[in-house]
Amino acid sequence: MSKSNETTPATTAAFDDEALLLVGHGSRREKSNEQVRDLAAGLESRLGIPVDAAFLELAEPAIDEALAQLAPVTSQVTVVHCSLFAASHVKNDVPLAIEQARAEHDLEINNGAHLGIHPAILDLLDDRAAEVEAELSVDRAEDDVAVVLCGRGSSDPDANGDVHKLARLLYEGREFDRVEATFIGVTEPTLEDTLHGLSKHRPDAVVVLPYMLGDGVLTQRVRDWTAEFDEDYPYVEALAGDPLGTDSRLLDVFADRWQEARTDSVSMSCDTCKYKVDLEGYEEDVGGARAMLRALAHQEAHADREDVDDEPHSHDAPEKHVAVCMNQTCAEMGSPSVLERLRQEVRDSDHCDARITRSSCLGRCGDGPMVAVYPDGIWYGDVASEDAERIVGDHLDRDRIVSDLVDQTL
């Protein structure tokens, strides 16, 4: 249980009445996990009720373990998310864990919303930008200062769209030359592409803000890529700032999300949720049953946490890696639908152990869409979405090359 030095510890009666569970993603870096625990301690002081921390993966305790520990000593738990936006963890994984806990324990559980877009977060990001400006000795009122807001990136278009909305709100009313939204992975535009694109505008400085809670692996990647850009473009000063961290303003957001959850006033953006409406390119994801199956599979992948210290991520490396070219030519020829169909076929397969990812240009423009399968070194060309079933069923499941699609072998 989180300890507070600022308020009197909660009484047993208060503890029996209500507690709060702050759920973070979990990281290979213990420093990031400690930040979630620090936020839990700060929130406990702010609200005056017991606050525990739990994690989706990579750290302990897991959500089910934390709820099981709370069940004997309290009658009501409100789950508050550390997730910045609503993607699969918020929409699938946490609700599944909560439903399982409700079935197993005599416990009232309120499920809160993600952090989302909040005035306190905008103020915090503004201050993070100002810190970088001071270090670079630039002034947004006098110099052309461009800001790059870098999110993690998601397969959920609703979550990615909110990053762009946040970037726009950060721009409004402030004297930045421009504010661009970008991502470290999963989707586009990537941070590298955004930085190189900004160089054409020749700003005096580029401030990169990692839109992440903890100071983990991805945050360091943002710093590294920014440093490489700064070295490659000497006429532009570029520097990455700090993540959100444990700033006290986040406690204001958590407190609002807690109050919303316990008063049944949680609002989610269902109008643009790929699990609820038919979105272009995500048609296969529509449906609560499919979302629940995906959450179950993800939960099972992290079921064994006994060796979490020795092997912090329980996902094994896949047997095969499939890269789908998403460069302009292949994209125009239909590679986005190929990518999504391959992912769907892999999810539906009982035997396939493969990871399907986007790729930049594979150097076979005009022969695409291109699909490369490794470690086999097989490149398929002129792939249509209807070919995905054969690529997965024959090649990925049974190691039988789809010969009529082979473009080249390496």
Beta strands in 84-169 (DSSP E): 108-111, 145-151
Which has more pLDDT, 203 or 303? Answer: 203
Q: How far apart are CA 170 and CA 151, in angstroms?
A: 14
Q: Over 70: is that where the pLDDT of 308 sits?
A: no
347 close to 285: Cβ distance less than 8 angstroms: no
Query: What does the pLDDT read at residue 314?
Result: 46
Give me 266's structure tokens: 């949680």
Give me 37's structure tokens: 């625990």
Query: What does the pLDDT read at residue 296?
Result: 56
Residue (of 11, 49, 57, 8) closest to 33 by Cα position: 57
Give per-residue pLDDT as tens, 344-371. 888 888 778 888 888 878 888 888 899 9
So what CATH class is 119-240? alpha beta
Exposed (0-12), middle (13-18) or buried (19+): which is 126, by Cβ within 10 Å?
A: middle
C-alpha 115 chain-centroid distance = 12
Q: Give residue 171's pLDDT band: very low, low, confident or very high (50, 70, 90).
A: very high
Annotation: CATH topology of 12-114+249-266: Rossmann fold (3.40.50)
Give per-residue pLDDT as tens, 250-289. 999 999 999 999 988 887 766 667 666 666 776 666 665 5
Q: Over 60: is that where the pLDDT of 114 sits?
A: yes
Q: How far apart are CA 185 and CA 192, in angstroms?
A: 10
Query: Parallel, antiparallel, or unpaired for β 178-183 and 205-210?
Result: unpaired
Which has more pLDDT, 321 or 88? Answer: 321
Query: What are the residue ranges of CATH 3.40.30.10 in the chain?
Result: 317-409
Give per-residue pLDDT as tens, 9-30. 333 334 448 999 999 988 877 8
Query: What does the pLDDT read at residue 15?
Result: 42
Query: What does the pLDDT read at residue 46?
Result: 93
> What length is written for the chain?
410
pTM higher than the cut 0.75? no
Q: How far apart are CA 405 and CA 152, in angstroms?
A: 34
Query: What are the residue ranges of CATH 3.40.50.1400 in the chain?
Result: 12-114+249-266, 119-240
104 close to 69: Cβ distance less than 8 angstroms: no
So what CATH class is 317-409? alpha beta
A 10 A CB-CB count for 73 gives 12
3-class DSSP state of 141 = coil
Q: How far apart are CA 141 and CA 159, in angstroms?
A: 31
